[in-house]
C-alpha cells in the first residue's frame, strides 16, 4: 500500500447517529452526508442481499457528489426465519417485532461499503451477527420499550444499552456490528482504499 497517497476527506454516508458515534472511535476526521435513497427491498431479495445492496448504493450515491472523498456506506437488516425486519418506527411495531423474536435466533446482517469515485475503488463486506433472544414476557417487552424507545433500530433493540437484557447470546466476529457499523471490516476496507487509521494518526491526521 502506498502510504504517501494525497489526503482524501472521509465521508460517512449515513444519517445514523449510532454509526457516527462508532466511526468517531477511529479518531479520524470525517464529515456526514446522508443520501436520499429508496430502501425498499427488491422482489425476491433476501435480507442479506438487501443490506449489501443498500450499503453500496449509499456509498456510491455520496461518492458521485464528492468524487475525491473516501465514502463509507452501511446498512443493517435483521432476519427472522428468512424474513427481513427493519426499523420499527413506532411502539406498536416494536412490540410486534420483539414478540415475534422472543425465544428465537435472529441474524443481523450488517453490511459496509467503501467507495472512492476518483480512484475507482469500491468494495464491501458483511458482518453477520447471530442473536438469541430470551423468551421475553409481555411486561419485559413493554418496560424495555418505554425505557429505551429503540424505534430507529433494526430489530427494536439496542444491545449497547438496556437491550442487552433482552438477549441470551450474541455470536459475532466483529464486536461493533450489532450496533450498526462493523469496525474491523470498515478499517480493512479503508486500508484497501488507501486510508490506514493507524498511519493517519501517526502522520498527525487527528492527533
143 alpha-carbon distance from chain centroid = 26
Residue 183 exposure: Cα atoms within 13 Å on the Cβ side: 15
SS3 readout for 74-104: EEEEEEECCEEECCCCCHHHHHHHHHHHCCC
DSSP SS3 for 118: coil
As a whole number of angstroms, the distance between CA 116 and CA 15 comes to 19
From the candidates 75, 90, 125, 152, give the one annotated as an active-site residue: 75
As a whole number of angstroms, the distance between CA 199 and CA 192 comes to 13
Could you count the other beta carbons within 10 Å of the beta carbon of residue 74?
31
As a whole number of angstroms, the distance between CA 95 and CA 97 comes to 5
Q: State the chain's maximal CA–CA distance in angstroms.
A: 57
Name the pairing type of β-strands 70-80 and 83-85.
antiparallel
Q: Is residue 75 flagged as an active site residue? A: yes
Active site residues per annotation: 75
Amino acid at each position: 500500500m502506498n502510504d504517501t497517497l494525497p489526503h482524501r476527506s472521509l465521508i460517512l454516508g449515513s444519517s445514523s447517529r449510532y454509526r457516527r458515534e462508532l466511526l468517531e472511535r477511529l479518531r479520524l476526521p470525517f464529515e456526514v452526508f446522508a443520501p436520499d435513497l429508496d430502501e425498499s427491498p427488491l422482489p425476491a431479495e433476501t435480507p442479506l442481499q438487501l443490506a449489501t445492496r443498500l450499503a453500496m448504493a449509499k456509498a456510491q450515491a455520496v461518492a458521485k457528489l464528492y468524487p475525491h472523498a473516501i465514502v463509507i456506506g452501511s446498512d443493517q437488516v435483521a432476519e427472522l426465519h428468512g424474513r427481513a425486519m427493519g426499523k420499527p418506527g413506532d411502539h406498536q411495531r416494536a412490540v410486534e417485532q420483539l414478540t415475534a423474536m422472543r425465544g428465537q435466533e435472529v441474524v443481523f446482517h450488517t453490511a459496509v461499503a467503501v467507495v472512492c469515485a476518483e480512484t475507482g475503488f469500491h468494495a464491501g463486506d458483511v458482518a453477520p451477527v447471530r442473536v438469541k433472544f430470551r423468551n421475553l414476557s409481555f411486561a419485559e417487552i413493554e418496560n424495555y420499550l418505554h425505557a429505551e424507545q429503540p424505534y430507529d433500530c433494526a430489530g427494536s433493540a439496542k444491545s449497547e444499552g438496556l437491550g442487552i437484557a433482552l438477549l441470551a447470546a450474541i455470536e459475532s466476529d466483529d464486536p461493533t456490528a450489532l450496533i450498526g457499523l462493523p469496525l474491523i471490516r470498515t478499517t480493512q476496507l479503508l486500508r484497501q482504499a488507501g486510508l490506514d487509521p493507524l498511519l493517519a494518526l501517526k502522520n498527525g491526521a487527528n492527533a
